Structure 1
């Protein structure tokens, strides 16, 4: 379940009242995945910084610590709620620190870059953009694309005359720069043979894009869950796209030095996240309950989000995954979304693991 990596010269001056539910529901790039074991750990609240609050299990041995950065929503905060990942890691003498919540992938990646977190969940587009920008990141595990997922969409107001992508010509569409929203819009335009120059991209964060759409400052919004379900069920927005023309990967992105210096702990954490994700796939009601608690969503919204996202399964990337991600990276370079070529094979974390199909 993907976001802007830099400021853009577009200045969005009008202030909006932001729906409380939207203010607490940050970008949703991956849902579900953690682990199982025994024993309960106690989390100690740590001092917060400008982008996050830190909850940690303190330790003096950095090689026995894994810092998991998270946005609101996604696999890592769900793992924190359920508690099995932490129990399993503690049983292996690995302490866990929870770093977050972050408002979007860009700030999460900045935390990894600044050595304040070791692992975080993002989409492939912002992850590749971060690597291209020279951030010291590597790809830990991936969630393969789900062609039938309804987790991304271009939305319009319920009373909008826009009915299909072709109607976007000459219109303003809110997207997050260098992230999943911009990628979705460009891929939809490409599929429909609409020159991208004929649609104006307005770079906004999700919390700014939502009121901009509802109040008419933009005509459409390219976004992901849980924003889609909130917009549809609570603000009468509607989608003009169904499935994604180029489904994306979810990525558990890792700070490069953590993967090199502490590969065992990183691998254990990634494996635990994957195992708990499989458990949650078999317990969708529990997944919805976690969303209600984490994002303060209504039951109806949480259930639709879970349904739209579909099953979640994180695995270590194999050769086919690397090739697919390389195609995405090359396309991003062609579109001038990233500044330089990214070698995906060289960007996979050196954890001594080859994934199975």
Structure 2
């Protein structure tokens, strides 16, 4: 801060009380850099990045907008935990798992209600049911919705994680391993899953939209506490992108196609048939969805003993921050 500007603030502080000075200095300090992710599983982030609406919003502040690609929820959560991102896109249950294990995040916004994962096999395999997966190699990315989807799906068939051979691969590598015959099944993620369906005739042997947790836009708690107005401006930009996608789904699919380097039919499948952009405000709907899903985290020993998951869910899902920002 320039000396002259500081002296001006000091004069104001003298007339209002010296305790006002820190808040005035803070208010006068513009955010130098805003770090957020974009992800192929979050078309809203792709639209926002493509049109430069955040860059436009923060231009007069002199704030640099830094975009970081998240290949999966696990990557976004790693970046948030390491303070390499301020705002990151993940699945809801993955966010809860991270929060329960000490990642200091909150979720003030829902970027979509997707059916982005299912259990996938090759077209020529003899595997047709969940029971057929016993003893088989199954690829899934740890710390993501597909991995947790796999665990919940196995449980419905009376199987445990130890009943399969889990192969930990990032999403794109899981698709390649499946199609090359290196694994027997894969807990897929769009757009990779849609591409495997349309281009390799892969089959979905288990679908359950209720096991697909919502798209959570997470913010580091410290950043939310210190930069609430800036977060509000980000969410307004997200709202602009969400409204644009709802009015222009085909054009949004074209952006996804170009960014993710998938065919337009693959992108259309993801956006038009497997993504719901109608409800962005975190609410009891999202809290209840996590409460239903949470037991798998304890059953599989994925969280520390003694963690109160109900309390963690309430601490994670911020149902009030965006109320004034979201109208539809």
TM-score range, shorter chain: 0.7 to 0.9
Moved more, 263-272 or 82-91: 82-91
Aligned to 2:63: 95
Which stretches of structure 1, 4 residues or more, deviate above 6 A after TM superposition? none
What pairs with 1:206-285 in structure 2 (closer than 5 Å)? 206-285=171-250
What pairs with 1:1-357 in structure 2 (closer than 5 Å)? 61-63=29-31, 65-74=33-42, 75-90=44-59, 93=61, 95=63, 97-143=65-111, 145=113, 149=115, 151-313=116-278, 315-339=280-304, 340-342=307-309, 343-349=312-318, 352-354=321-323
Q: Alpha carbons of 1:83 and 1:73: their partners in 2 closer, same or farther (altered >3 Å)?
A: farther
- Give 1:94 shift: 7.5
Q: Is the 8 A contact 1:164 1:241 kept in 2?
A: yes
Moved more, 286-295 or 128-137: 128-137
Q: Is the 8 A contact 1:139 1:348 kept in 2?
A: yes
- Give 1:195 shift: 4.4
- 1:200-231 deviation line (CA, Å, top 9, x unaligned): 32222223322221222211001120011111
Distance (whole Å) between structure 2 residues aligned to residue 328 and residue 267 of structure 1: 29
- Give 1:251 shift: 0.2
Distance (whole Å) between structure 1 residues aligned to residue 53 and residue 320 of structure 2: 23
The alignment yields a C-alpha RMSD, in angstroms, of: 2.7
- Give 1:66 shift: 3.0
Unaligned runs of 5+ in 1: 1-59
Distance (whole Å) between structure 2 residues aligned to residue 273 and residue 327 of structure 1: 28
- Give 1:249 shift: 1.3
Q: Alpha carbons of 1:88 and 1:235: their partners in 2 closer, same or farther (altered >3 Å)?
A: same
User: Could you state the TM-score of these two structures normalised by the residue count of structure 1?
Assistant: 0.73
Aligned to 2:16: none
Q: Alpha carbons of 1:135 and 1:183: their partners in 2 closer, same or farther (altered >3 Å)?
A: same
Q: Is the 8 A contact 1:137 1:254 kept in 2?
A: yes
Q: Alpha carbons of 1:346 and 1:249: their partners in 2 closer, same or farther (altered >3 Å)?
A: same
Q: Alpha carbons of 1:156 and 1:194: their partners in 2 closer, same or farther (altered >3 Å)?
A: same
- Report which of the two structures shows the higher radius of gyration computed on alpha carbons: 2
- 1:285-315 deviation line (CA, Å, top 9, x unaligned): 1111101221122222222222332332452
Secondary structure (helix, strand or coil) at the match of 2:212 reads coil
Q: Is the 8 A contact 1:170 1:199 kept in 2?
A: yes
Secondary structure (helix, strand or coil) at the match of 2:188 reads strand
User: Could you state the TM-score of these two structures normalised by the residue count of structure 2?
Assistant: 0.79
Distance (whole Å) between structure 2 residues aligned to residue 215 and residue 353 of structure 1: 45
Q: Is the 8 A contact 1:89 1:269 kept in 2?
A: no
> Which structure: greater helix fraction?
2
Q: Alpha carbons of 1:115 and 1:251: their partners in 2 closer, same or farther (altered >3 Å)?
A: same
Distance (whole Å) between structure 1 residues aligned to residue 65 and residue 111 of structure 2: 23
- 1:216-272 deviation line (CA, Å, top 9, x unaligned): 221100112001111112223121123335231110010111100001111221232
- 1:52-91 deviation line (CA, Å, top 9, x unaligned): xxxxxxxx94537532222345222321102334434547
Distance (whole Å) between structure 2 residues aligned to residue 217 and residue 136 of structure 1: 37
